């Protein structure tokens, strides 16, 4: 049974990443521009949904009623598993892009798909580059995209909620976008860090009410961070 699950996970991840990655790379190569619901949005959503379906992972979502269609958000999520990425792409509506660590660009094929699909790479080791990337991300959000950020900056190894980085909240203030606290539950159980097979289990995605950033400045980043963290911990 375990061997079959390993095979199913590795095969589905490889095939679906190749197929949807190829779609966005070809689209970028021929000059197709982003439009809501277009190839770049569909490829991300379908990649996440099909990975979940292929590996038998059901997802329950609550809080979507807080979202206003056509509004750009910064989704601030906890991070405990690689499966978090599939889940968020699968369930969040509209045009969403990840703010992801720059190291992903060096992953064969996957890195090219990350760039082609318009994800936002951040080099956290280089402050000048990181701020430039956040400026580009803020511009994209004002242009109609929503950004997904892992508020802790990296994956929690034990599942507990780590301290938040301030960058995502500086980004939200710069973009003038509300921040949606997102709590993921169960992803670590179905795919633990370093895992090579998906365990049976159900995942929950809980969205709290958006925290507005209108009228906030850089000096308000800590207050915004505290409100978003409280929104996660209250669920």
The answer to whether 93 and 67 have CB atoms below 8 angstroms apart is: yes
Averaged over 8-14, what is the pLDDT? 94
pLDDT in tens, 179-195: 999 999 999 999 998 88
pLDDT over 90 (residue 138): no
How many domains would you assign to the chain? 1
Say which CATH number the domain at 34 has.
3.40.1130.10
Could you list the residue range(s) of the whole structural domain that residue 133 is in? 2-233
Question: Token match 């780590």: residue?
Answer: 162
Q: What is the pTM of this model?
A: 0.91
Please tell me whether residue 149 adopts helix, strand or coil conformation.
strand
- Going by C-alpha positions, the residue among 38, 87, 22, 34 that lies closest to residue 60 is 87
Neighbours of 199 (CB within 10 A): 15
pLDDT of 139-185, one tens digit each? 888 989 999 999 988 887 778 889 998 888 999 999 999 999 999 99
Strands 74-77 and 96-101: unpaired
């Amino acid at each position: 049974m375990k061997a079959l699950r390993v095979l199913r996970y590795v095969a589905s991840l490889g095939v679906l990443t190749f197929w949807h990655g190829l779609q966005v790379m070809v689209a970028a190569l021929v000059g197709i521009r982003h439009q809501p619901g277009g190839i770049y949005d569909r490829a991300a959503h379908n990649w996440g949904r099909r990975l979940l379906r292929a590996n038998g992972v059901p997802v329950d979502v609550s809080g979507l009623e807080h979202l206003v269609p056509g509004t750009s958000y910064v989704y601030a999520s906890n991070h405990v598993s690689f499966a978090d990425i599939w889940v968020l792409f699968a369930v969040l509506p509209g045009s969403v892009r990840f703010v992801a660590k720059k190291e992903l660009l060096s992953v064969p094929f996957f890195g090219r798909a990350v760039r082609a699909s318009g994800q936002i790479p951040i080099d956290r080791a280089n402050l000048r580059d990181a701020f430039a990337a956040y400026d580009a991300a803020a511009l994209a959000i004002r242009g109609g995209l929503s950004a997904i950020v892992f508020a802790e900056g990296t994956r929690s190894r034990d599942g507990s909620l780590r301290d938040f980085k301030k960058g995502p909240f500086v980004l939200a203030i710069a973009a003038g976008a509300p921040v949606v606290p997102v709590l993921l539950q169960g992803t670590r159980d179905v795919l633990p860090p370093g895992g090579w097979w998906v365990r049976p289990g159900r995942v929950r995605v809980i969205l709290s009410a958006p925290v507005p950033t209108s009228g906030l400045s850089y000096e308000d980043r800590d207050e915004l961070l505290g409100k978003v963290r409280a929104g996660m911990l209250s669920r």
